[in-house]
Amino acid sequence: MSTDAIVLLKNDHKEIRRLFREFEQAGDDATKTKGRLVDRIIELLTVHTYIENEVMYPRVRELLPDLEDDVLESYEEHHVADVLVMELYGMKPDAERFDAKTTVLIENVRHHIEEEEEDWFPKVREGLGRKTLQEIGAEMEKARRKAPKKPSQPSALKKTVDAVLG
């Protein structure tokens, strides 16, 4: 399997998008299914934002200072997702605003994914090259193994608290 950082992130994006579609197609009365899908979405987003925040963004910021504004915007988009994820994590699937909050999360994350894949990733690939992206990908895979899977875990909570108070 490739350890190219961008390939790894795109694979995550593909799985996250698939779950979004399943949620949207579940139907109004599929409370249990939606709850299960949102649990999985929360887990994937918690891991994904962790490895981006801990490895990808700091390395790109260090190696490609021209992309500083893009990285800062991505941190802010993660902040919005983190807050929504934390709120959803504490909600029951039959709560009045569960579907609406999930829809807002989906819209925000889709926008973020599109910006990364269409604009940011090409700049990063051009600026860093294959070897560096593979090194970063290997670091990301190591971080993934210790990444929090729930927003209530200490390393995820710290990220969310930093986002809220930062």
On average, the pLDDT of the chain sits at 90
DSSP 104-160: HHHHHHHHHHHHIIIIIHHHHHHHHHHHHHHHHHHHHHHHHHH--SSTTSHHHHHHH
Q: How far apart are CA 40 and CA 162, in angstroms?
A: 24
Supply the range of the domain harboring residue 21: 5-165
Q: Report the domain count for the chain.
A: 1
Q: Residue 98 carries which side chain, given as an amino acid letter? A: F
Structure tokens at 92: 């029951």
Q: How far apart are CA 6 and CA 117, in angstroms?
A: 9
Query: What is the per-residue pLDDT for 85?
Result: 93
Give 61-71 pLDDT, tens digit per residue: 999 999 999 99
Give 92-134 pLDDT, tens digit per residue: 999 999 999 999 999 999 999 999 999 999 999 999 999 999 9
pTM equals 0.89
Question: How far from 58 is each of 23, 72, 155, 166, CA to CA, in Å?
Answer: 32, 10, 17, 17
DSSP annotation of 94? T
Give 43-80 pLDDT, tens digit per residue: 999 999 999 999 999 999 999 999 999 998 998 898 89
Q: How far apart are CA 58 and CA 72, in angstroms?
A: 10
Decide which of 1 and 104 is more confident: 104
Which residue has tokens 């999985």?
A: 40
Structure tokens at 98: 């569960």
Q: How far apart are CA 7 and CA 27, in angstroms?
A: 32
Query: What is the per-residue pLDDT for 162?
Result: 55
